[in-house]
Amino acid sequence: MQNVMIVDDEALVLLDLVHTVEDLGYAIHSESTSVEGALASLENATPDLALLDIDVAGVPVWPVARELTNHGVPVIFVSANLSHQELCQEFSGCPKLEKPASPADIGRALQMAGDTKSCAA
């Protein structure tokens, strides 16, 4: 069973994503409401996949995304703002879902990302 890291600063959105991912048959590697917490969760184990909000309490998630893609972990960005320059350049190959994303969309993105090694350009 693949395990998924989820990062979102909105507690209710995070909880909804956790339940959606579990309902889709995945395990939770970690759930974080901050970039610092997400980076700390990578010290012990690496997830198989990641769902990342981009603006995490005013801090861009790019350090987490870079750490994950450097380790070959596929990243899916889930955000209300998908116009960031990094998404067009550095992370152009990563799946992107606009909030609010449906469970079906999340499931398809996880399935597709799970079939790849990484998504960084």
pLDDT digits (tens, 9 = 90+) for 47-69: 999 999 999 999 999 999 999 99
CA contacts within 13 A on the Cβ side of 73: 25
The average pLDDT across 12-26 equals: 97
Please give the share of the chain, as a percent, with pLDDT higher than 70.
96
| pLDDT value at 76 more than 60 | yes
Taken in order of first residue, the domains within the chain and their CATH numbers are 3-114 (3.40.50.2300)
Judged against a pLDDT cut of 70, whether residue 74 lies above it is answered with yes
Of 96, 3, 108, the C-alpha closest to 49 is: 3
Token pair recorded at residue 120: 């960084």
Q: What is the DSSP letter of 59?
A: E
Task: Tell me if residue 78 falls in helix, strand or coil.
Answer: strand
Please tell me the pTM assigned to this model: 0.94
Supply the pLDDT for residue 91.
93
Summarised one tens digit per residue, pLDDT across range 95-117 is 999 999 999 999 999 998 877 76
